[in-house]
Amino acid sequence: MLNKISQAIADDWKQDPYYLLAEKSVDFFWGGGGGKIPFFGGFKELDPENIVELACGHGRHVPKYMDDAETVTLVDVNQENIDFCKQRFSGNPKIRFYLTTGNNFQGLPDASYSAIFTYDSMIHFNLIDIANYINDAWRILKPGGRILFHHSNYYGAEPGNFYFQNPGGHNFCSDRIFAHLATVAGFKVLSQDLIDVDTGTGVVKGLGCLSLCEKTDEYFSTCEKAREARTAHAVALIREKMKQKR
Ligand SMILES: C[S@@+](CC[C@H](N)C(=O)[O-])C[C@H]1O[C@@H](n2cnc3c(N)ncnc32)[C@H](O)[C@@H]1O
């Protein structure tokens, strides 16, 4: 469940002129940007077999990748967007739709998807929701599955700012914070590319970030080893103290 502010962010995107305008610039992200946007390169690192698109909006990216996928799962928090996509892609049996409560994939099965990506959406999300999405992404991915998440790198944001008080609606986050959240959720961070953003009043360097991460078990075994070492150290200390008492 979302808190009041996260819900307000979600509600802002039930209807917006953005959808019509953005449709016209979609080619820019899919190789037409002359390499200025790292998205296309990052997407090529995903296995699209059973792909999930998080915060799909009106589904403008779907025609760019659906032919390469066996199944496409479109996820959004707004029923309005899910309904739009259902109509847009009606009759296409490989496309599935999923209405999220706003920070998880509950209802989607464990270890079942090859990749999850999101573009132009997570930049707006509250950090607490990003953390929850990352955690649940690990659950639904197959081993070796990958996430490609476009998020904010606006760590200069005044804590507590509503997202549109920041340039381009970029909420508080950073490449390092994201890398930490992804790592402790069990992902290996493969790459992070900063994105310069034209906010309308000028270009802000490195305002966005595109993070590519892979589901592994490595982090948990590293932690387990550190935990065992700490326990062994504590046991050795206790033994030493007992010896001294004798
Ligand atoms: C700016 S639109 C981008 C849509 C799409 N990614 C695109 O590139 O055209 C932001 C999207 O994020 C969705 N959204 C907002 N908050 C969300 C949340 N907590 N969970 C999932 N989707 C959310 C909105 O419904 C909307 O579809």
- Please tell me whether residues 36 and 112 are part of one structural domain: yes
Distance 118 CA to ligand 1 centre (A): 9
- Please tell me whether residues 224 and 171 are part of one structural domain: no
Mean pLDDT throughout 212-220?
Answer: 94
Q: Where in the sequence is the domain holding 190, given as residue range(s)?
A: 4-215
For residue 34, is pLDDT > 80? no
For residue 26, is pLDDT > 90? yes
Total structural domains in the chain? 2
- Please tell me whether residues 129 and 246 are part of one structural domain: no
pTM reported for the whole predicted model: 0.94
Distance 128 CA to ligand 1 centre (A): 16
Distances (CA, A) of 144 to 4, 132, 213, 219: 35, 20, 9, 14
Give the residue, out of 2, 28, 104, 121, with the most ligand 1 atoms within 8 A of its beta carbon, to mutate for a pocket test: 121
- Please tell me whether residues 156 and 233 are part of one structural domain: no
- Please tell me whether residues 125 and 187 are part of one structural domain: yes
Using DSSP's 3-state secondary structure scheme, residue 16 falls into coil
- Please tell me whether residues 159 and 243 are part of one structural domain: no
pLDDT confidence band for 36 (50 / 70 / 90):
confident
For residue 245, is pLDDT > 90? no
Q: Domain of 133: which CATH number?
A: 3.40.50.150
Residue 118 CA, closest ligand 1 atom number: 6
126-174 tens-digit pLDDT: 999 999 999 999 999 999 999 999 999 999 989 999 999 999 999 999 9
68-85 tens-digit pLDDT: 999 999 999 999 999 999
Encoded amino acid at 83, one letter:
D
- Please tell me whether residues 180 and 234 are part of one structural domain: no
- Please tell me whether residues 165 and 229 are part of one structural domain: no
Residue 158 C-alpha from the chain's centroid: 22
- Please tell me whether residues 105 and 182 are part of one structural domain: yes
